[in-house]
Amino acid sequence: MVGGLGDEPDVASPEVLLCRVCAMPGGADDRHPGATRDDAQTCVVEVEHVTVEPALEARNLHKVFGRNPKDAVRRLKAGATRSDVADAGTAAVIDASFTVQRGEIFVIMGLSGSGKSTIIRMLNGLNEPTAGDVLVQGRSVGDASPKELRDIRRSSISMVFQHFALLPHRTVLDNAAYALEIQGVGRDERRRRAQEILAKVGLGDRAEAMPDELSGGMRQRVGLARALTAGTDILLMDEAFSALDPLIRREMQEQLVELQRELGRTIIFITHDLNEAMFLGDRIAVMRDGRIVQNGTPEEILTDPANDYVAQFVQDVDRARVLTAGAVMAPAAATTPVSAGVRGALRVMRDLQVGSVAVLENRRYIGAVTDRAVVRAVKAGTSDLRSIVSSAQPVVGPDDPLTDVVERSVESPIPIAVVDDSGRLLGTIPRVTLLAALGNVDPQTTEIPIIEAPVTVPEAEFAQTLAAVGESAAVGEPVGAGASAAPATRASTRATNADATNADAPTQRTAAAATVAAVPAASVTEGGV
């Protein structure tokens, strides 16, 4: 079937859109990542529905421990809760369905007792579901014979445990090579492959050490190396970093993300720590009392929690680490081509009532100018805008976390520019937008706290400076009208945030854009581009 990249993927089947030319997955409403508009034209013609088997699917999984599991499931399916069926058994998992795509980090997050471990044990066949099924790369675990199950475990799924489970009398290298030994790979070959993976996890020089000579973090790295060496596509990680102290844990999280990018494995990670979930997960399933109460991207869960329970959970999340520049940026309102010169920049500032403007050359961002610098240059008779552009203005990429944006924002009062790989300006992040995003401003709040005074010249000076060099006032306004109108706009530090968490926003990016759109006055106060 031929379709466009804009077609909605069929939710019921595991179909995704692939470009037949480049084999890249298509987005829901755009070209594939990294493609140019021209590519998109080709792709829209060439794409077709191609069935790509997900790495793993859980279908209506139930697990009840106790006297009468089948009866409990029947009642659960009719809407009963965990406590309703307590007389029949413990409903550890209730109707859990999710799909994990290849190369994805999928996190299952929930408090103790919510059912995470039971789910993961059903995924690799250690626990038999009371109802429902698991498909690993399209193969049903429920229908598998014991031999097939062993084969699935050996070839498709490996597991990393919280407590390392290393063999104490074997060296690090032999531990890392263990899965290959089980698979019957020859000694030299398995040691070579294990050594390669040990180098990737930073233990290349500890291959001959014994496990008890290593720190906890190092031992967990060996556990990870062992799972990676096995070469299976899917890694199940059950609270794998929970026993590590916070700094090492952070390091391991970062390394896991890097390894995943490099090796492209599919990872299903269990944790009770939402910050960890948010940092690692491409998608997160939040569990409560045996049920998945929300399944979404970290940004979706943060900006659009499904219920009060999730909302309460996300209150304490380190937003700076989860949200990205692209998710909170605003469209760049004030831009000028460098060819427009200093006067052109000043006109933009006067008309838009902003204190700085982004300067573009061939649609690429080359820096920003402030109102002060522009007024000074006009008075000095300078016309070349390039000569006053501050190229030292910080820029970030759309995928950079807000932690990076915060650092840059300290360096400059001018809104941070968000640029793509080719230097094109995608948007800007005024400081007030940053504060609103980091502060999880309550949707009921109608005021954003006062921020530091912006560096701007008095309003009247724009008009006077332009008038002095023979420029007329803005269309339809007498000279100085901007000045008199300005204080209402520029001096205001108030910003309504009513739209910030619009529950109907179709995507989290749109929701984030709404946050931004809701603070125009304050961004102007910033001298906002």
Ligand X SMILES: Nc1ncnc2c1ncn2[C@@H]1O[C@H](COP(=O)(O)OP(=O)(O)OP(=O)(O)O)[C@@H](O)[C@H]1O
For the chain, what's the residue count? 529
Give the other-Cβ count within 10 Å of 368's Cβ. Answer: 29
133: left (phi over 0), alpha (psi -120 to 50) or beta: beta
The residue (of 114 and 336) whose beta carbon lies closer to ligand X is 114
- β strands within 24-89, DSSP E: 48-51, 56-65
Q: Pick from 118, 175, 456, 493: which binds ligand X (CB under 6 A)?
A: 118
- Residue from 103, 113, 202, 423 in contact with ligand X (CB under 6 A): 113
Among 62, 75, 116, 190, contact with ligand X (rule: CB under 6 A): 116
> Interface residues for ligand X in 137-156 (CB under 6 A)?
none
Q: In terms of Cα–Cα distance, which of 434, 467, 465 is closest to 451? A: 434
> How far, rounded to the nearest angstrom, does the alpha carbon of residue 465 sit from its chain's CA centroid?
46
527 forms part of the interface with ligand X (CB under 6 A): no
- Using the contact rule CB under 6 A, the part of the chain among 110-118, 145-153, 187-195, 378-386 near ligand X is 110-118
Beta carbon of residue 136, minimum distance to ligand X (angstroms, whole number): 20
Q: Which two tokens stand for residue 240?
A: 């794998």
Q: Are 338 and 363 in contact (CB under 8 A)?
A: no
Smallest distance from the beta carbon of 78 to ligand X, in angstroms? 21
Q: Is 255 in the site for ligand X (CB under 6 A)?
A: no
Per-residue burial over 383-407, b = 16 or more CB atoms within 10 Å of its CB, e = otherwise: eebeebbeeebbbbebebbbebbbe
Q: Which is nearer to ligand X, 89 or 415 (CB)?
A: 89
Shortest Cβ distance from residue 407 to ligand X (Å)? Answer: 35
Which CB sits closer to ligand X, 6 or 113?
A: 113
Residues 57-86 that bind ligand X (CB under 6 A): 65
156 near 183, Cβ under 8 Å?
Answer: no
Stretch that binds ligand X, among 106-114, 351-359, 367-375, 511-519 (CB under 6 A): 106-114
Q: Environment class of residue 80 by beta-carbon count within 10 Å: exposed (0-12), middle (13-18) or buried (19+)? A: middle
Nearer to ligand X, 90 or 137 (CB): 90
Q: Of these, 54, 69, 115, 401, which contacts ligand X (CB under 6 A)? A: 115
Q: Give the tokens for residue 411.
A: 């360096």
Which runs of consecutive H residues, i.e. helices, occur in 210-361? 216-229, 246-263, 274-280, 298-303, 308-314, 319-322, 325-328, 341-352
Q: How far is the CB of 314 from ligand X (least distance, A)?
A: 18
326 binding ligand X? (CB under 6 A): no
Q: Least distance to ligand X from the beta carbon of 163, Å?
A: 12
Q: For residues 92 and 325, which CB has a smaller minimum distance to ligand X in the complex? A: 92
The nearer residue to ligand X, 118 or 266, going by C-beta atoms, is 118
- Could you say whether residue 272 binds ligand X (CB under 6 A)? yes
Residue 110 makes contact with ligand X by CB under 6 A: yes
Backbone angles phi, psi at 489, to 5 degrees: -90, -55
Instruction: Specify whether the CB–CB gap between 322 and 279 falls below 8 A.
Output: yes
Which residue stretch of 37-45, 70-78, 115-123, 193-201 sits at the interface with ligand X (rule: CB under 6 A)? 115-123
Report which of 348, 278, 354 is spatially closest to residue 316, judged by C-alpha positions.
Answer: 278
The minimum distance between CB 110 and ligand X, in angstroms, equals: 5
Q: Which of 231, 207, 230, 203 minimizes the C-alpha distance to 217?
A: 203
For the sheet with 234-238, list strands across it.
157-160, 234-238, 266-271, 105-110, 283-288, 291-296
Min separation Cβ 140 and ligand X, Å: 22
Query: Hey, how many other C-beta atoms are within 10 angstroms of the C-beta on 494?
Result: 14
Is 112 a binder of ligand X (CB under 6 A)?
yes
Q: Is 114 in the site for ligand X (CB under 6 A)?
A: yes
Applying CB under 6 A, what is the total number of residues that bind ligand X? 12
Sequence-ordered strand ranges (E) for 101-210: 105-110, 131-136, 139-140, 157-160
Burial class (CB in 10 A: 0-12, 13-18, 19+), 122: buried
Least spacing, CB of residue 396 vs ligand X, in Å = 36
Closer residue to ligand X in complex, CB, 112/422: 112
Provide the 8-state DSSP code for 386: G
Should residue 309 be labelled a site residue for ligand X when binding is judged by CB under 6 A? no
Q: Which is nearer to ligand X, 50 or 243 (CB)?
A: 243
- Here the tokens at position 444 are 């009921």
90 binds ligand X (CB under 6 A): yes
Residue closer to ligand X by CB (options 92, 483) is 92
Map residues 402-421 to x or -, x wherever contact with ligand X holds by CB under 6 A: --------------------
| Residue nearer to ligand X on the CB measure, 10 or 289 | 289
Give 100 or 122: the residue with its C-beta nearer to ligand X: 122
Interface with ligand X (CB under 6 A), residue from 117, 124, 409, 523:
117
Residue 92 as a binder of ligand X (CB under 6 A): the answer is: yes
Q: According to the binding rule CB under 6 A, does residue 364 interact with ligand X?
A: no
- Contact in structure between 437 and 323 (CB atoms under 8 Å): yes
Residue 122 CB, nearest approach to ligand X (Å): 10
Based on CB atoms, which residue is closest to ligand X, 13 or 83? 83
Q: Which residues bind ligand X (CB under 6 A)?
A: 65, 90, 92, 110, 112-118, 272
